[in-house]
Amino acid sequence: PPRWRILGATVGPSLVVTSAIFAVGHLLTDPNPARLAVFFPSLLFGWLRARTGGIGTSVMFHAMCNLFVAVLARGYGLR
């Protein structure tokens, strides 16, 4: 399969496929098409895993994204 070197990490088509699955998984928990937008941060999560060689950084970044969204939602009175 093709591979690309992006900012120091080697990634391939599997990054796009797993990001799509991640997005669909979020759509299944809340059937709102806007939930598919998690596809884009998922690309970053996968890139972080490829760059660091482990999942710890991706897990921490995912948690920080969730916290950021929760703080924004609360600040705007959405939750």
Distances (CA, A) of 6 to 43, 48, 77: 12, 11, 38
- 65: confidence class by pLDDT, cuts 50, 70, 90: very high
Model confidence over 11-62: pLDDT tens digits? Answer: 999 999 999 999 999 999 999 999 999 999 999 999 999 999 999 999 999 9
pTM reported for the whole predicted model:
0.84
Cβ atoms within 10 A of the Cβ of 15, count? 19
pLDDT of 12 = 96
How far, in Å, CA of 44 to CA of 28, rounded? 21
Q: Would you say 10 and 50 are in contact if contact means Cβ atoms under 8 Å apart?
A: yes
